[in-house]
Structure 1
Amino acid sequence: MKRLHIYFLGLITALFYACSPYEDRITPANPAGIQLDFSVTQNPDYDNQVTLESKTKDVIPFWDYGFGTTKEAKAVVILPFAGDFFVKYSAYGAGGPKTDSVKVTVSKNDPKFFSSKLYNLLTNGADGKTWVWAVDVPGGYCFGNGPGNSDVPAWWTVGKAGLITQGVVDDEMTFDLNKNANYSITHKGVTTKGSFTLDTLAQKIKINGADISWGNNVTYNIVKLNANELTLVQQGDGWRNIWIFKRKGFVF
């Protein structure tokens, strides 16, 4: 079996071999003459791991499993989140495509996929974690810029008064792992929802469909992340823009 790399929101995870059939489906021949024959198999000991196998003759298979796609006739994929998901199978032939789907239930978020502590520190898992501006950070400045290795604003510095002027001081950002890598930001009472991609090796984060408070729509470097503090930077050549947030409810 070929080794298949699954790309989920920019992350790469190693895949494993599956066992124990989940469902083997054969649909009647359709008017175009294609009889769909395929199987979707979950590993009973690790139900995040699913084997997809196309058995339909003389077609090009295409799978959409919600967190990625593949054209392999047989592939092993990872469904990282707990919940109910549909695996969609399409067979492209003379008169195709013909499509069917199978519902798959995953019992829990994948402990292997989310093994990095950064995930839990950022999101608190499926329950979520909300971050706000660290207006009471020692030094008084939670936004600005500085030298390329600085973790606090040094050249241009902005504190609570500046955030009030910009109208962002009450912004709230929430990350969670409830059926997806979810992100939302509430600004002036309006909530915008998106998702996030976390590169745990490079310690970078990208917000998709939204942005951080007073952000620059870039991929941010994480220079500090613990239970109560989150510092993000936009890395330049010899300079950094710096955002300092804290867990909602935390007081320095």
Structure 2
Amino acid sequence: MKINKFKNISLLFGLLVLLFTACESIVDEKELVNNTDIDGVELVVGQNSSGGNLLVLEMATPGVTGYWDYNLGTALTNKVEIVYPIPGTSTFTFVGTLGAEFFEKTIDVTIDVLDTPLDQDWYDLVSENTAAGKTWVFDGVGGDGGLWWFMSPPDNPYGVWWNAGGECCPPSDASGKMHFDLNGAANYTRYNNADASGDLGSFVLDVANQTLTFSGQKLLGAEGCGSNGEDLTYNIVELTEDKLMLSIPNGSCGSGWTWVFVPGE
């Protein structure tokens, strides 16, 4: 019998092609695309009155998602209502995605009157006269036996492991003071001692989570075992008109640390 070698080779090649084709996975590639451009993102702000401080921040463009950064916190939603405590013109930022890329867009709002009351914590921290603000000092002096700067258990800011300020080793800025005000921004001015000129920073009071965060300037007594490194956020243990008590669970000596302040001049 005569064998057609060329025909058999062609058939074998065809079978191999079919085999490899059958083994190839089917890939359904989907490419992300933008739903709009930045100019097409509409930011809207509603105010309870002309120049009022009850604001509704809204990103009104369908197909766009993200969150609001309103300077004193963030809202993980396209629409949020806030009572803003700072008169003047403020800039709010929406951070989101167009579909294929991220973006930031801002909107300016002018507040002329604080006609919606703030949470009481704001008044306790900066006083009823929010523009003038309020000064805080340590509730004691070095070696007085008082509890105003001390090592505490990580889970108990009232517990005392070592009364550093009241016994032997007050911080270097024990005679300093802190001033908080809302005069155009959330201003924090730190004075290293009674005669020092002030150094300006800023702060964020998170009422919901009961934290106080500093930026640009550190808290008084944030040194030694009372340092928490680069983290400038502190837990609010107590905040009243007459007392500000802060703590951290993770001081540099492997323990918690507690600060107690009272109003000063």
The two structures share one fold, judged by TM-score above 0.5: yes
1:212 counterpart residue number: 219
1:43 counterpart residue number: 47
CA separation of 1:183 and 1:38: change in aligned 2, threshold 3 A: same
Extract unaligned runs of 5+ from structure 1. Answer: 1-34, 90-100
Which whole-Å deviations, capped at 9, do the CAs of 1:197-216 have from their partners, x for residues lacking one? 22223322111121111212
What number of residue pairs does the alignment pair up? Answer: 208
Q: Matched residues in 1 for 2:163 and 2:93: separation?
A: 51
- Output the amino acid matched with 2:258: I
The answer to whether the aligner puts 1:185 opposite 2:199 as a matched pair is no
Q: Matched residues in 2 for 1:132 and 1:121: separation?
A: 14
Q: Matched residues in 2 for 1:248 and 1:241: separation?
A: 22
1:144 counterpart residue number: 150
CA separation of 1:146 and 1:48: change in aligned 2, threshold 3 A: closer
CA separation of 1:167 and 1:139: change in aligned 2, threshold 3 A: closer
User: TM-score, normalising length from structure 1?
Assistant: 0.59
Q: What SS is found at the alignment partner of 2:184?
A: coil
CA separation of 1:149 and 1:66: change in aligned 2, threshold 3 A: closer
The answer to whether the aligner puts 1:130 opposite 2:135 as a matched pair is yes
- Output the amino acid matched with 1:43: Q
The answer to whether the aligner puts 1:195 opposite 2:202 as a matched pair is yes
With 130-139 and 180-189 compared, the bigger mean Cα shift is at 130-139
Q: Matched residues in 2 for 1:118 and 1:69: separation?
A: 18
CA separation of 1:48 and 1:120: change in aligned 2, threshold 3 A: same
Taking only the aligned residue pairs, the percentage that are identical comes to 26
| Structure ID, larger Rg | 2
CA separation of 1:230 and 1:76: change in aligned 2, threshold 3 A: closer
Q: Matched residues in 1 for 2:53 and 2:149: separation?
A: 43
- Output the amino acid matched with 2:217: A
2:124 counterpart residue number: 121
Following TM superposition, by how much is the alpha carbon of 1:108 offset from its aligned partner in structure 2, in angstroms?
2.3
CA separation of 1:36 and 1:235: change in aligned 2, threshold 3 A: closer
Following TM superposition, by how much is the alpha carbon of 1:122 offset from its aligned partner in structure 2, in angstroms?
1.2
The answer to whether the aligner puts 1:176 opposite 2:181 as a matched pair is yes
- Output the amino acid matched with 1:242: T
CA separation of 1:168 and 1:102: change in aligned 2, threshold 3 A: closer
2:246 counterpart residue number: 232
Q: Matched residues in 1 for 2:74 and 2:138: separation?
A: 38
CA separation of 1:150 and 1:139: change in aligned 2, threshold 3 A: farther
1:246 counterpart residue number: 262
- Output the amino acid matched with 2:183: N
Following TM superposition, by how much is the alpha carbon of 1:169 offset from its aligned partner in structure 2, in angstroms?
2.1
CA separation of 1:161 and 1:128: change in aligned 2, threshold 3 A: farther
Q: Matched residues in 2 for 1:69 and 1:200: separation?
A: 12
8 Å CA contact retained: 2:139, 2:260: yes
Following TM superposition, by how much is the alpha carbon of 1:37 offset from its aligned partner in structure 2, in angstroms?
11
- Output the amino acid matched with 2:241: A
Following TM superposition, by how much is the alpha carbon of 1:145 offset from its aligned partner in structure 2, in angstroms?
0.5
